[in-house]
Chain A
């Protein structure tokens, strides 16, 4: 199958966008598959943007910022690294993470810019078109991407992401500095939990289901599902619907 990958790139104004301009000034030829969206800083990139793109059928996403320590806005690229890192972990759960790359290109690295674009384009070419464009996988992948999107729109993961750098450098409200390793352990658990919880919400969006039914559908043990249901209920996202036989059925009442 012959296909031309469609790749979107977020480039920060001060380093990678300037590096891309330099590639042009130096007439360095590279693959014509990339479409660039200029932002002031890589830290501006909300993971939601990338998910919107994947849902639309983009084959690959590049986020390019200044090298760490060289950010025009001091530490925006560190924030980008955290955000894209969490997104990457979620995408890994659905086998989509290879279609996203975060890299650093300075304003003086025209050559490197071309090289990074070429390598990524080839990688995406090898991976083939986004499975969302294939009728066979479309519904499944759309669901999975929407699950991740709602997990990353919810307050819990966003607070984790937003607080990470201050907690591992300045400390939490009690002044305790938590090591990145320790923080990531908690974060990884939260990433997985939120993925499962949002998956449950999707499954009971329009039709109420019992814990057992959900458990079978998403292949997670019933006791875990029940714990998640209780948590979602306390957040006001799930309500008890009715009892069929002896099984209580739950339905999502989360507003989109």
Chain B
């Protein structure tokens, strides 16, 4: 093994560090440490003068480790790493010691103790630096094309957005034509526009020169990673393969069929979806209509609120009222959710139109009898019988049965109710933790058309950040599995938040360096110590601990 030759550069940062700590004594101390060939102080190490000195000394003394003791690596590590690289030193052989943000600035009244701390920190940095190994960054080509799974309103908008930016886009749709749930709807709230109007986008999608539409098709296998996905698609009985740089999940959701609930029979007791069809055909003859909200939702089985049913019920009630002002419409609800200004306004209008609202409690749900709905009104503390000739049940959107299959295929997580789970609820709502896979529309959570479209734009824009690059450069510091020690317990495969670890064809556990983000969780969790976290190895961390300056 080659001799370790360390150069240490200690920064005054003007008076920021030099005004508090005793730099001279720190520098003299640094010179006494093992393997230190050169140690100096600079007024500003990050100035061109300081950087030139680093470059010169690397060449002059053949330094193979460089330490800068100055500010925080969070702002300056990249600069110093690049400087090392310019002088021919592998950037991973650089180590930074924080003696400003976490020392001189916070111990201004205790300069001696601050100086002592700086010496400890430099000694710790040095012992880690001694164990550093050169690493290489990995470059990945990006195939500038997209695959969109699901051809509903969300998927189509995402496709158009990407195609208009010039990216080759493929939509695969399970059904025989595009359009998704929108095909089943009559009009859309809050402006009562015909659903068919929004479906005109199908023409734009199908005729776009950058979009390839595959209907009656499903994905059966997905391989690869960001920039280089290969998806096997089954169309009828034909199998084909397609290579794309990213994947957007826009598989949507479906309305729960209320079979077995509240006497559903499809004739006098129907679902909101059935009602949409009747309205489309202009075929609503009923005079007394009762709508029941939260049917099969917000219960133990499906604890979530489906987001769209309150507005859907209001919309259909208003439409019926418009056609037949004498119709009696009662909405039995648990809580009315009409968020924002437009939707709340819509609710007020519904009240003005004399649509009745009766609150029921889930402990005493309404009872649909032969000609009346019996409901206990909490507010009035009495049982009311409401005559009906049509009962409409508002059921939630639920995840498709095949969503779990898709989740396994793409190794993306689902939540309790089988909707897909994004990387971060606030910070990364359109991404999956796995790079290169995005989500929009009701596959994520019940969304109305407006939300589906804005999510589609979000997913497309997140995707184009990658697609617009020629290649991706990824960190060299990743996890590594020693297959000799590995016992194939699969803990790391499950624990990796980025699905970067898998079993290869020989049954060996391997890390995909492109997906690995080097968090190190797998390394700390391996039961037999088979995983090395490069640049933060057990050895390196323990050496820092042991050199922190205690002994007995």
State A83–B495 Cα separation when bound (angstroms): 13
Nearest-neighbour CB distance to chain B for A67, whole angstroms, equals 12
Nearest-neighbour CB distance to chain B for A171, whole angstroms, equals 11
State A41–B516 Cα separation when bound (angstroms): 13
Most chain B Cβ neighbours within 10 Å, of A49, A132, A153: A49
Q: Which residues of A contact B423 (CB under 8 A)?
A: 74
Find out whether the CB atom of B72 lies under 8 angstroms from the CB atom of A29.
Answer: no
Q: Which residues of A contact B538 (CB under 8 A)?
A: 46, 48-49
How many A-B pairs have beta carbons closer than 8 Å: the answer is 162
Residue from B124, B526, B549 within 8 A of A6 (CB atoms): B549
Q: Which residues 510-552 of B sit at the A interface, judged by CB distance below 8 A?
A: 517-521, 523-529, 533, 536, 538, 541-542, 544-546, 548-552
Nearest-neighbour CB distance to chain A for B412, whole angstroms, equals 12
> Does B270 interact with chain A (Cβ within 8 Å)?
no
Find out whether the CB atom of A6 lies under 8 angstroms from the CB atom of B548.
Answer: yes
Find out whether the CB atom of A29 lies under 8 angstroms from the CB atom of B108.
Answer: yes
State A69–B114 Cα separation when bound (angstroms): 34
Q: Which residues of B contact A165 (CB under 8 A)?
A: 495
Nearest-CB residue, chain B, relative to A53: B545
Nearest-neighbour CB distance to chain A for B229, whole angstroms, equals 21
Q: Which residues of A contact B348 (CB under 8 A)?
A: none
Supposing A6-B549, A27-B105 touch, asked if A44 and B524 sit within 8 A by C-beta, the answer is yes
Supposing A40-B519, A56-B545, A56-B550 touch, asked if A21 and B524 sit within 8 A by C-beta, the answer is no
Given A74-B497, A166-B494, 12 additional A-B pairs, CB 8 A: A24-B72, A24-B103, A24-B105, A43-B525, A44-B536, A52-B545, A73-B521, A74-B433, A79-B524, A159-B489, A162-B527, A166-B495
> Does B491 interact with chain A (Cβ within 8 Å)?
yes
Residue from A6, A24, A39, A158 within 8 A of B525 (CB atoms): A158
Residues of A at the B interface (CB closer than 8 Å) are 4, 6, 8, 13, 17-18, 20-21, 23-25, 27-30, 32, 35-41, 43-46, 48-49, 52-53, 56-59, 69, 72-76, 79, 83, 114, 132-133, 138, 153, 155, 158-159, 161-163, 165-166, 170
A-B contact pairs, 14 of them (CB 8 A): A13-B74, A21-B74, A21-B98, A37-B544, A37-B545, A38-B73, A41-B520, A43-B525, A44-B519, A46-B524, A49-B545, A53-B548, A58-B545, A74-B424
Q: Which residues of B contact A35 (CB under 8 A)?
A: 117, 120-121, 124, 548-549
Supposing A49-B545, A73-B519 touch, asked if A36 and B489 sit within 8 A by C-beta, the answer is no
Find out whether the CB atom of A43 lies under 8 angstroms from the CB atom of B550.
Answer: no
Q: Which residues of A contact B117 (CB under 8 A)?
A: 32, 35
Find out whether the CB atom of B545 lies under 8 angstroms from the CB atom of A73.
Answer: no
Find out whether the CB atom of B74 lies under 8 angstroms from the CB atom of A46.
Answer: no
Query: Which 4 pairs, one residue from A and one from B, show the smallest C-beta to C-beta distance?
Result: A44-B520, A24-B101, A158-B527, A43-B521
Residues of B at the A interface (CB closer than 8 Å) are 72-74, 98, 100-103, 105-110, 113-114, 116-117, 120-121, 124, 423-425, 433, 487, 489, 491-492, 494-495, 497-498, 517-521, 523-529, 533, 536, 538, 541-542, 544-546, 548-552
Q: Which residues of B contact A13 (CB under 8 A)?
A: 74
Find out whether the CB atom of A57 lies under 8 angstroms from the CB atom of B550.
Answer: yes
Nearest-CB residue, chain A, relative to B550: A57
Find out whether the CB atom of B106 lies under 8 angstroms from the CB atom of A29.
Answer: yes
Find out whether the CB atom of A24 lies under 8 angstroms from the CB atom of B100.
Answer: yes
Supposing A35-B549, A40-B536 touch, asked if A28 and B106 sit within 8 A by C-beta, the answer is yes
Q: Which residues of A contact B124 (CB under 8 A)?
A: 35, 37
Nearest-neighbour CB distance to chain A for B26, whole angstroms, equals 15
Nearest-CB residue, chain A, relative to B541: A49
Supposing A138-B552, A158-B527, A162-B495 touch, asked if A32 and B519 sit within 8 A by C-beta, the answer is no
Supposing A52-B542, A75-B497 touch, asked if A162 and B113 sit within 8 A by C-beta, the answer is no
Supposing A39-B541, A74-B424 touch, asked if A32 and B73 sit within 8 A by C-beta, the answer is no
Find out whether the CB atom of A45 lies under 8 angstroms from the CB atom of B524.
Answer: yes
Find out whether the CB atom of A132 lies under 8 angstroms from the CB atom of B108.
Answer: no
Most chain B Cβ neighbours within 10 Å, of A32, A73, A155: A32
Q: Which residues of B contact A8 (CB under 8 A)?
A: 545, 548
State A44–B100 Cα separation when bound (angstroms): 25
Find out whether the CB atom of B528 lies under 8 angstroms from the CB atom of A155.
Answer: yes
Find out whether the CB atom of A37 lies under 8 angstroms from the CB atom of B520.
Answer: no
Nearest-CB residue, chain B, relative to A57: B550
Q: Which residues of A contact B110 (CB under 8 A)?
A: 32
Q: Which residues of B contact A170 (CB under 8 A)?
A: 494
State A158–B531 Cα separation when bound (angstroms): 14
Nearest-CB residue, chain A, relative to B527: A158
State A16–B476 Cα separation when bound (angstroms): 24
Q: Which residues of A contact B536 (CB under 8 A)?
A: 39-40, 44
Q: Which residues of B contact A27 (CB under 8 A)?
A: 105-106, 108
Q: Which residues of A contact B72 (CB under 8 A)?
A: 17, 21, 24
Find out whether the CB atom of B424 lies under 8 angstroms from the CB atom of A58.
Answer: no
Residue from A30, A40, A56, A159 within 8 A of B520 (CB atoms): A40
Find out whether the CB atom of B533 lies under 8 angstroms from the CB atom of A44.
Answer: yes
Find out whether the CB atom of A162 lies under 8 angstroms from the CB atom of B74.
Answer: no
Q: Which residues of B contact A162 (CB under 8 A)?
A: 489, 491-492, 495, 525-527
State A44–B544 Cα separation when bound (angstroms): 15
State A5–B73 Cα separation when bound (angstroms): 26
Q: Which residues of B contact A76 (CB under 8 A)?
A: 497, 519-521
Q: Which residues of A contact B541 (CB under 8 A)?
A: 37, 39, 44, 49
Q: Which residues of B contact A158 (CB under 8 A)?
A: 525-528
Nearest-CB residue, chain B, relative to A158: B527
Nearest-neighbour CB distance to chain B for A230, whole angstroms, equals 23
State A250–B166 Cα separation when bound (angstroms): 75
Nearest-neighbour CB distance to chain B for A15, whole angstroms, equals 11
State A8–B489 Cα separation when bound (angstroms): 32
State A53–B487 Cα separation when bound (angstroms): 28
Find out whether the CB atom of A58 lies under 8 angstroms from the CB atom of B527.
Answer: no
Q: Which residues of A contact B100 (CB under 8 A)?
A: 24
State A161–B214 Cα separation when bound (angstroms): 45
Residue from A25, A45, A132 within 8 A of B552 (CB atoms): A132
Q: Which residues of B contact A53 (CB under 8 A)?
A: 545-546, 548
State A27–B116 Cα separation when bound (angstroms): 19
Q: Which residues of A contact B533 (CB under 8 A)?
A: 44
Nearest-neighbour CB distance to chain B for A45, whole angstroms, equals 6
Nearest-neighbour CB distance to chain B for A74, whole angstroms, equals 4
Nearest-neighbour CB distance to chain B for A72, whole angstroms, equals 8
Nearest-neighbour CB distance to chain A for B22, whole angstroms, equals 14
Q: Which residues of A contact B107 (CB under 8 A)?
A: 29, 32
Q: Which residues of B contact A32 (CB under 8 A)?
A: 106-107, 110, 113-114, 116-117
Find out whether the CB atom of A39 lies under 8 angstroms from the CB atom of B520.
Answer: yes
Find out whether the CB atom of A79 lies under 8 angstroms from the CB atom of B552.
Answer: no
Nearest-neighbour CB distance to chain B for A140, whole angstroms, equals 14
Nearest-CB residue, chain A, relative to B520: A44
Q: Which residues of B contact A20 (CB under 8 A)?
A: 101-102
